[in-house]
Amino acid sequence: AAVSGVAALGLGTYGAHMFRPQNPRYKEIWQTASLYHLVHTAALLGAPMTKRPNVFGGLLTTGIVLFSGTCYTVAYLEDR
């Protein structure tokens, strides 16, 4: 959760202060990815309290990588 949290904060900060896409729609996509990344990282903190923490954490991490990662990539490359 710590690594994901640092990544979420770093990418969110980059998106807010340095990311300057030509189309403002990509900035919104980046912000959505950052929000979902941060919220689901917070949910990872609850993984140890679940019945199967490895499964829960693994699925949540996979979701973060697939959804937020795809959004970050689309926004960064400005390719949709």
State pLDDT tens for residues 38-80.
999 999 999 999 999 999 999 999 999 999 999 999 999 998 7
pLDDT of residue 1: 83
Report the predicted TM-score, pTM, of the whole model to 2 decimal places: 0.88
What is the pLDDT, as a whole number, of residue 79?
86
- Could you give the CA distance from residue 45 to residue 75 in angstroms, rounded to a whole number? 27
Separation of alpha carbons 49 and 10, rounded Å? 27
